[in-house]
Amino acid sequence: METGGSSESPVETKKPKSKTPRKPKESALKQKSPAEFFAENKNIAGFDNPGKSLYTTVRELVENALDSAESISELPVVEITIEEIGKSKFNSMIGLIDRERIDEALYDDFETAKAREKRLAKEARVQEIQAKNAALGKKVKEQVAIKAIKGRGEASFYRVTCKDNGKGMPHDDIPNMFGRVLSGTKYGLKQTRGKFGLGAKMALIWSKMSTGLPIEISSSMKGQNYVSFCRLDIDIHRNIPHIHLHEKRDNKERCHGAEIQVVIEGNWTTYRSKILHYMRQMAVITPYAQFLFSFVSDTSDKNVSIKFARRTDIMPPVPLETKYHPSAVDLLLIKRLIAETSKQNLLQLLQHEFVNIGKAYAERLIGEMGPDFSPKMLVKSLTSQQLVRIHQLFRQAKFDDPSGDCLSPAGEYNLRLGIIKELHPDMVATYSGSAQVFEGHPFIVEAGVSVGGKDVKQGLNIFRFANRIPLLFEQGADVVTRTALKRINWNSYKINQTQDKIGVFVSIVSTKIPFKGTGKEYIGDDISEIASAVKVGLSILKNFSRLLEIYRLTALRLQTSIQQCCIQLKSKIVKKIQAREQQERKRNLSKYIPDATNAIYEVLKEMTHLHASKKRRYEDKDAELLSKVSARLITKDTLREKLAQHVEQVDYEMALEYATQSGVKEEPRENIYLQLLEAEKDFIDFHGPVFVFRLFQ
Amino acid sequence: MSDKRKRRRPDPDSDSDTRPFKHLLKPDTTILSSLRTLASSSAAASSSKTLTLSDLRLSAACREVSDLPPSAVQSAIESLAVSLARSILSGQGFSFTVPSRSSANQLYVPELDRIVLKDKTSLRPYSSVSTVRKTTITTRILHLIHQLCLKNIHVTKRDLFYTDVKLFQDQTQSDAVLDDVSCIVGCTRSSLNVVAAEKGVVVGRLIFSDNGDMIDCTKMGMGGKAIPPNIDRVGDMKSDALFILLVEKDAAYMRLAEDRFYNRFPCIIVTAKGQPDVATRLFLRKMKMELKLPVLALVDSDPYGLKILSVYGCGSKNMSYDSANLTTPDIKWLGIRPSDLDKYKIPEQCRLPMTEQDIKTGKDLLEEDFVKKNPGWVEELNLMVKSKQKAEIQALSSFGFQYLSEVYLPLKLQQRDWL
């Protein structure tokens, strides 16, 4: 959770009711707050239905937690717990008394006499069949309990808790960070995980819509001797936080980080696999983090508890904030930059607010703009026509490509470790491309291909990541999927596309990957009016198509990346096939001995019959053999033994040949990571280029 | 052709019938007389002795198989079995020498107008991981064939497969080995007493005997007579037809059979419903050889249509070892040809764009010798690849279901429009 320069954290929000929000004058024209807009269009943020909402809530909280820990270079430890809350428990939580139904027929799930008759008949039939099966001694699998008919309004509620060891949040900023949609400070140009400008707030809006319960946050920053505790909900109409409790408590353990707890309506049954997939893929792309995921419910057999252990302590660097590339800006953005800049004149603006424009180049650009431009002219005095001219020139002029230095890819090493850690594949290959540019935004594609592994289904398993978060939905149309399916000839790499368990991992990082849902770059922090809210909605759509465009551009890149991985794998696979052949040769060769010898022997036997009955004449040499067969000097077993001997000999020769060819060399082993038993650091590392000097205290 | 159009007579039906080109049709008697000349010229042409491989004295040695009686097949298998047993007893394991049926080992002989197999062979040893399965299957098939010859009965490929499903695993494997065995023994596949299930059908002006029963193909109902799998039991072919019409698809065949096209223009209609099987190819060849009728082909206007045509004409690569018995020389490509699409104004919505795969197949076909030898075919195929459009026979149904039998085919025949 970022707090950088939270300029917008007015203290008066502590008693928000007293202050009327800044509203333009009253008129028939109705206005909506951004919170209202998102409450009504919650699907664009991934809150389409209760199940998806549960999923999105989990991922928003996890991603926030990771960001928070990474921002202080702390190896992330994230605990996420989903607790199922039954209806009566929920009612007692909100202080509602459970009422017995009095008028049964009033309810939607009321069983009419006719329906009951039908049901009883069906149950009787089932029992009859079971009895029959039992009598026949058939093993019947446990009859699935007939599902209770779920009536309308029978919602399931969940308490989602996420605890991290991150940076924590400043005490006074907490209400605004959660209770005001589209507030935040990280709207700069930077590779970021994603939706968190909106995410936690959307979870709060959803909880308010579905349960009415507030969100609870406790947070502590490094070196603080207290824990900030805050219970709040959001005033959707005014887009301001509504605080129930905001206090400082004792921090006995001296830990840092945040714990967020929210009670929402959800659907665990249908989104269970999605959530678990998400956690697993997250563990793949962030092997340096430790995740503890647990699901708790009243029925203990549904409980899930998974620990995704840390596998490395090397973290990718924190992505740097960068300035805009001239070819990446639009008119609106130029206006905003001018409004925000501290630079006085045009020359300084060009030189300092954009990348890849030096002083000399800025002067050339200004010269090109026309006679009514000059280097010393004040930026605030630029007319809209002039801005359009600047924009046009930015579009047409040639600029150096932005460098990928500001990006923080997962890294080949981490990607590889993640794959090994979570999938335990037989083989893995990874590849990292160099930075490429699309519309002024740099991007890096990394890819991995694995073969085999546990819990991997046969065929292609595709794992997509954008800015180091997993993408789970709408896989079919995705270009990664299409590339892997159509443009890669797996056969030529000795990989069987339908039989082998193939994992394809593609990670794209960029300063601008607009996700389906919310694209944060376009949501300015000054937006508080409806007009802009609608624009947000539009830009979201635009972003989505942009994402596809990026993908299309990267398709070729992807193809080469995946192919690179396959080439690496091919030599491994060939070796492996040889080794396997080595092991299985004798078994395979011996397997067919009975079939082959039987067939030959049967023909011989037929011949002896014919020979004996004088139906056919055979040559002397053949006749000799046949008489041996009829005298049982040569039997089925003789042939079998002789062939087995031959196989033995061939096997020995080939093993010898293999050994001389391949030598005793074996595959290089993977380094293993031993987790520290005690996380506490009581030493100092001095890193030299060739050694590490560790000083224990 | 253009002067023929000038001579056309006014058709009383032309006002009521709006189907395109209907007015071009002349009375059936005119068409029939032209067909008669075709039939007689065809009979004259085929009376000359057909060439055989040995007549040619080719530089490369070629492999051909012949029909062998069961006893000959039996003794061939027996001597093979004895030699295998000897080899095993001497501690050498065993191996087969199998003629290679890969495309590198095929040769198109323009003089014969068919594909033949060259004499390259490959060794199939038991004691190699890559061939052990195939070798075992080969011995097993040899054993089964030996039994068939001994008892002199016929089974289908499916029967053969089911005798040892566990070993063969799937039918393609036993089928492939069966062809290998034909090559090893040097006999046709029918000599192995293994037949494929019935696939082809025939209808029209043909009378023949099937295992002693006389069959009149005009009285076989709409579906026609299934082509018997054992060609050696077929004989006494008689016909008053003027030509044989080879149809690619079942649907077009049904249309023609139901409309009794063979009564309007005496002909024999044959289809193998897609890629032709051995029985249909043998049957077609037998008809052509005995009745000396011209063969006209009606296939889709796509690369696969031409491919099917080539299989009837020049043989398939898979069974090139027996191309002498399986191919029917001098098949004319009647329709639907790429040039017909525009000539008969087939509407755009009935034409399909060719896929990349189609275009590739088309271009590959252009490289094949059996296409190159016929300049007319090359031209048509070039047109297809260039226009990137294909059409099925059914595209003609856009002018009415009976357009095929009532306008298109008669017109084609009248114009002698075949290649």
Question: What are A575's two structure tokens?
Answer: 């070796």
**Contact residues, chain B, for A618 at CB < 8 Å:** 78
A300-314, A669-683, B254-268: range with lowest mean pLDDT: A669-683
pLDDT (0 to 100) of residue A313:
81
pLDDT at A695 over 80: no
The answer for B 94-133 residues in CB contact with A (under 8 A) is 94, 126-127, 129, 132-133
pLDDT (0 to 100) of residue A102:
73
Are the C-beta atoms of residues B127 and B93 closer than 8 Å to each other?
Answer: yes
Q: Determine whether A386 is exposed, middle or buried from the number of CB atoms within 10 Å of its CB (0-12, 13-18, 19+).
A: middle
Are the C-beta atoms of residues A290 and A421 closer than 8 Å to each other?
Answer: no
- The pLDDT mean for chain A works out to 75
pLDDT at B2 over 50: no
Are the C-beta atoms of residues B126 and A642 closer than 8 Å to each other?
Answer: no
Q: What is the 3-state secondary structure (H, E, C) of A454-502?
A: CCCCCEEEEEEEECCEEECCCCCCCHHHHHHHHHCCHHHHCCCCCCCEE
Query: How big is chain A, counted in residues?
Result: 697
Q: Is B135 on the interface with A (CB under 8 A)?
A: yes
Of B82, B143, B150, the CB nearest to A625: B82
Instruction: Give which of B345, B338, B323, B330 is closest to B292, Cα–Cα.
Output: B330
pLDDT in tens, A408-436: 888 878 888 888 888 888 777 777 767 76
Element (H, E) at B376: helix B375-387
Tell me, rounded to whole angstroms, the distance of Cα A389 from its chain centroid. 42
Q: Determine whether A122 is exposed, middle or buried from the number of CB atoms within 10 Å of its CB (0-12, 13-18, 19+).
A: exposed
Residue A639, phi then psi, degrees to nearest 5: -60, -45
Helix%, strand%, coil% for chain B, nearest 5: 50, 15, 30
Nearest residue of chain A to residue B144 (CA atoms): A599
On the CB side of A596, CA atoms within 13 Å amount to 32
Q: Which of A145-159, A165-179, A459-473, B157-171 has the highest mean pLDDT?
A: B157-171
Cα–Cα distance between B275 and B298 in angstroms, integer?
13
Question: What are A28's two structure tokens?
Answer: 């028939």
- Tell me, what amino acid is at A401? D
pLDDT at B12 over 90: no
Tell me the CA distances in angstroms from B266 to A365, B245, B259, B413, one per residue in order: 85, 10, 13, 12
Instruction: Give which of A511, A514, A410 is closest to A463, Cα–Cα.
Output: A410
pLDDT at A148 over 80: no
pLDDT in tens, A100-119: 777 777 777 677 778 888 88
pLDDT (0 to 100) of residue A88:
75
- Banded pLDDT at A478 (limits 50, 70, 90): low
Cα–Cα distance between A611 and A617 in angstroms, integer?
7
pLDDT at A515 over 50: no
pLDDT (0 to 100) of residue A663:
59
- Tell me, what amino acid is at A157? F
Tell me the CA distances in angstroms from A87 to A71, A92, A101, A647, one per residue in order: 40, 9, 14, 70
pLDDT at A233 over 60: yes
Cα–Cα distance between A350 and A329 in angstroms, integer?
12
A599 and B147 within 8 Å at the Cβ level: the answer is no
Q: Is the peptide bond before B145 cis (omega within 30 degrees of 0)?
A: no
pLDDT (0 to 100) of residue A477:
58
> Which residues of A carry a binding-site annotation?
64, 164, 185-186, 194-201, 520
A207-211, A512-516, B81-85, B411-415: range with lowest mean pLDDT: A512-516
- Banded pLDDT at B202 (limits 50, 70, 90): very high
Are the C-beta atoms of residues A484 and A462 closer than 8 Å to each other?
Answer: yes
B85 and A625 within 8 Å at the Cβ level: the answer is yes
Q: Which residues contact B90 (CB under 8 A, 6 or more apart)?
A: none
Question: What are A240's two structure tokens?
Answer: 């301001």
Element (H, E) at B123: strand B121-125
Q: Which residues pair with A240 in a beta bridge?
A: A235
pLDDT (0 to 100) of residue B280:
92
pLDDT in tens, B37-70: 888 887 777 655 667 777 777 777 788 888 888 8
Angle at A602 between CA A597 and CA A603, to 5 degrees: 105
Q: What is the DSSP letter of A197?
A: G
- Banded pLDDT at B140 (limits 50, 70, 90): very high
pLDDT in tens, A44-69: 777 888 888 898 889 888 888 888 88
How close is the nearest chain A Cα to the Cα of B364, in Å? 21
B408 labelled catalytic: no
Residue pointed to by tokens 């909106």: A198
pLDDT at A571 over 70: yes
pLDDT (0 to 100) of residue B269:
93
Who has greater pLDDT, A502 or A435?
Answer: A502
Report pTM.
0.56
Question: What are A188's two structure tokens?
Answer: 């700069």
B81 and A600 within 8 Å at the Cβ level: the answer is yes
- Calculate Rg over the CA atoms of chain A: 34
pLDDT (0 to 100) of residue A441:
75
Are the C-beta atoms of residues B133 and A591 closer than 8 Å to each other?
Answer: no
Are the C-beta atoms of residues B8 and B24 closer than 8 Å to each other?
Answer: yes
Q: Is A421 on the interface with B (CB under 8 A)?
A: no
- Tell me, what amino acid is at B300? D
A639 and B77 within 8 Å at the Cβ level: the answer is no
Nearest residue of chain B to residue A581 (CA atoms): B129
Mapped onto helix, strand or coil, the DSSP state of residue B358 is helix
